């Protein structure tokens, strides 16, 4: 038997989606509630005092940021958990002893996690429509961007899940790094609203480019040029793939 083990990919993909289905209620209800809360607080209470940002009504302005924020956390959480749990319970033995390549493993786990975060992103998008009227300037680009972001962050989560040796380590990067970077990355404001030197400092935050790029697909403009955003997504994808390639070549924390 040689060639591509697509049946293994399908088996893992189904297994992972089945795992999500067990927590379907919280998994889908949480983003809906969170989005609604953000609209009540930011859109309603604060947004009513702020007129517009870059000519966009505030409530609409925060939609791309909200979607991105949820997708970042969902992607990292689902992908890291997906590979960390077998390590934790010991069931990874089966994956390691199966005729499955590194590439097939990644496609399956990252594909499943990305699927879930795309579903969550879509739910938030739909929920947002209940609160605010949004027109998407570049719908195709929007979908493509969501897919790229989901895949990149799931790859990142996958790395995290392989690296982590405890539940605490699993949580520490998303909570201490990604969360603050997202909040400071212009999810709820335009970086042009910041005074110097913060505005320049913010430009070192890669999340700024991702959120700005996604906002561009909605409104045709962002904090930075769309080409920079694409560059950052591509760089992140390449970096994650390189790290994962190295991990599998060396057996890093998977094989002794």
Burial 22-61 (b: 16+ CB within 10 A, else e): eeeeebeeebeebbbebbeebbeeebeeeeebeebbbbbb
Q: Is 94 in the site for another protein (CB under 8 A)?
A: yes
Segment near another protein (CB under 8 A); pick from 15-23, 46-54, 62-70, 155-163: 15-23
Shortest Å distance, C-beta 182 to another protein? 31
Segment near another protein (CB under 8 A); pick from 38-46, 156-164, 234-242, 248-256: 248-256
| Total Cβ atoms within 10 A of residue 183 | 14
CA gap 132, 58 in Å, rounded: 10
232 three-class SS: helix
Handedness of CA 157, 174, 230, 220 (dihedral sign): positive
Query: For residues 19-38, which are near another protein according to CB under 8 A?
Result: 19, 22
Q: Is 14 in the site for another protein (CB under 8 A)?
A: yes
In terms of Cα–Cα distance, which of 117, 13, 31, 111 is closest to 74? 117
Q: Is 167 in the site for another protein (CB under 8 A)?
A: no
Shortest Å distance, C-beta 5 to another protein? 4
Shortest Å distance, C-beta 171 to another protein? 21
Q: Is 2 in the site for another protein (CB under 8 A)?
A: yes
Q: Is 192 in the site for another protein (CB under 8 A)?
A: no
Q: How far is CA 86 from CA 39, 137, 160, 241, in A?
A: 38, 42, 14, 21
Segment near another protein (CB under 8 A); pick from 88-96, 126-134, 146-154, 197-205: 88-96
What does the DSSP 8-state code read for residue 195? P
Binding region for another protein (CB under 8 A): 1-2, 5, 7-8, 10-12, 14-15, 18-19, 22, 89-91, 93-101, 251, 255-256
């Amino acid at each position: 038997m040689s060639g591509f083990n697509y049946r293994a990919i399908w088996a893992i993909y189904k297994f992972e989606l089945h795992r999500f289905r067990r927590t379907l209620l919280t998994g889908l209800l949480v983003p809906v509630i969170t989005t609604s809360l953000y609209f009540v607080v930011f859109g309603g209470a604060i947004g009513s005092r702020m007129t517009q940002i870059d000519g966009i009504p505030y409530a609409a302005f925060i939609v791309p940021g909200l979607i991105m924020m949820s997708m970042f956390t969902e992607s990292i959480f689902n992908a890291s958990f997906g590979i960390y749990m077998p390590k934790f319970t010991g069931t990874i033995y089966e994956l390691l002893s199966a005729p499955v390549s590194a590439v097939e493993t990644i496609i399956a786990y990252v594909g499943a996690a990305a699927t879930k975060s795309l579903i969550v992103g879509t739910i938030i998008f739909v929920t947002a429509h209940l609160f605010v009227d949004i027109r998407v300037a570049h719908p195709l680009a929007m979908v493509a961007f969501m897919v790229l972001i989901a895949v990149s962050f799931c790859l990142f989560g996958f790395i995290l899940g392989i690296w982590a040796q405890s539940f605490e380590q699993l949580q520490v990067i998303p909570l201490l790094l990604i969360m603050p970077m997202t909040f400071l990355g212009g999810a709820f404001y335009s970086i042009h609203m910041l005074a110097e030197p913060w505005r320049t400092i913010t430009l070192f935050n890669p999340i700024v480019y991702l959120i700005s790029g996604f906002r561009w697909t909605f409104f045709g403009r962002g904090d930075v040029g769309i080409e920079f955003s694409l560059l950052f997504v591509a760089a992140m994808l390449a970096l994650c793939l390189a790290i994962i390639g190295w991990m599998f070549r060396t057996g890093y924390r998977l094989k002794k």
